[in-house]
Amino acid sequence: MERFGFIHEKLDIKILILFVLNELPAPVDELKLSELVFCDDGIGYFDYSDCLAELTESGQITEQDRKYQITDLGRQNVEAVGSSIPYSVRTKALKLTAPLAAQMRRAALITAEHSMDDDGLCTVHLSVSDGVSPILELRLLAANEQAASTMESTFRADAESIYHKIVGILTESEESK
């Protein structure tokens, strides 16, 4: 059966896989990677699977816990030949990867975790970084692990707003003078 699209050859599929992974700042699971790579209708699943395995075997991507990430070798190769991907496919791939890449970058800047001490006290550790150093670090005592998990998920979802609210509260007296 003839497939439509621009990408048909295994080499082109490999370059597209590397291109997509090169745009992502963190490892991505196989399902999400396939969604991003199948931006061109010419790619078949079995060819894609073969290419993914071959790229892993050749050391251009790594696979850990069913998540894939580009290596320095893969990055060098895609920088050398990535422009051979048709412009329309590159544009579509970039459009699809941009939101996920932004989510990954944001997630890397936010830490939300908790720990239990020997006395059964649950401490929640929350922080936001600017990529260089933390701009906010909080340690809060939680009533239990369920409350700690709620604090963590709320912070992850709205860390920037929480940061601005804290800064606003702490500088309120200065603004009212």
**Per-residue pLDDT tens for 58-96?**
999 999 999 999 999 999 999 999 898 988 889 999 999
Is residue 125 located within the same domain as residue 94?
no
- What's the number of domains the chain is made of? 2
In a domain, 35, yes or no: yes
Is residue 54 located within the same domain as residue 124?
no
Q: What's this model's pTM, rounded to 2 decimal places?
A: 0.81
Is residue 95 located within the same domain as residue 122?
no
Taken as a whole, the chain contains a residue count of 177
Per residue, the 3-state secondary structure of 43-55, as one string, reads CCHHHHHHHHHHH
- pLDDT tens for 22-61 read 999 999 999 999 999 988 877 888 989 999 999 999 999 9
Is residue 18 located within the same domain as residue 102?
yes
